[in-house]
Structure 1
Amino acid sequence: MSAKTIFIIILTVLVTIVLMKNTDEVIFWIFGDRYIPKLAILGSMFAFGLIIGFLLGRPRRKKEIKEIPTKGNFQTTSTPKENEEFTDPYRPNLSDDDRKYID
């Protein structure tokens, strides 16, 4: 069993114990006095916490920014001449070890 599975089992057991020990009714004010079991209040707050935790913990969706070509930012590709190679503008700044690693 993984640590995550063990943690979920222990958490479920603890929540069940707490909920089952608090079954008596309490007076709860919701625009007037109401008798509500502690079990319902604790259970709903636990569920609310799970939902909020899930929503805040999920990964964000990344929005893609699409660049709209305008008059000045078109990219053109050109083919190299017979003896000309495409060169990296940063290649002259590399050390000999870096060039060996890349090649």
Structure 2
Amino acid sequence: MKGKTIFIIVVTVLLTIFLMDNSEAVDFNFIFVDDVPVSKLAVIGICILIGFILGFLAGRPRKTYSSYNDEIERDAIEEKPKSTLSDEDRDYIS
């Protein structure tokens, strides 16, 4: 197994043990509601899930477009000849 796979398995096991150890209900105060009994397991699990989603969205590569890439694609489609030398330049070279 690769090191990355082993690391993911170990973190997942430790996280599962941590969540199962904190399963009792506690009172939480939300924005408009006071003293709602909620399982610590649910609160921690939701926070971890939101963290993974935000980390995935922040860490993925962005698609970037530039005029240079568009120009290369346009040239490939139009199949222009590669030489853009003028007749004077060709005479000078030869």
After TM superposition, the score normalised by the length of structure 2 is 0.72
Q: What is aligned with 1:46? A: 48
TM-superposed CA distance for 1:22, in Å, is 0.6
Q: Once superposed, what is the RMSD of the aligned Cα atoms?
A: 1.8
Deviations 1:22-59 (A, max 9, x none): 11000011222211000000000000110111111111
Task: Choose between structure 1 and 2 for higher RCO, CA contacts under 8 A separated by at least 6 residues.
Answer: 2
Taking the aligned partners of 1:77 and 1:35, their CA distance within structure 2 comes to: 78
Aligned equivalents of 1:60 and 1:78: distance in 2? 40
Aligned length: 76
Code of the residue aligned with 2:49 in structure 1: it is A
Which segments of structure 1 move beyond 2 Å, counting only runs of 4 or more? none
Unaligned runs of 5+ in 1: 68-75, 86-103
Q: Aligned residue for 1:78?
A: 86
Displacement after TM superposition at 1:77 (Å): 3.9
Instruction: Structure 2: give runs of 5+ residues left out of the alignment.
Output: 72-83
Q: Identity over aligned residues, as a percent?
A: 46
Equivalent residue runs for 1:18-97 within 5 Å: 18-30=18-30, 31-32=32-33, 33-65=35-67, 77-79=85-87, 80-81=90-91, 84=93
Q: CA deviation at 1:61?
A: 1.4
SS at match of 2:37: strand
Letter in structure 2 aligned against 1:78: S
- Partner Cα distance (1:36, 1:15) in 2: 19
Task: Look at both structures and tell me which one has the larger radius of gyration over its CA atoms.
Answer: 1
Q: Secondary structure at the match of 2:93?
A: coil
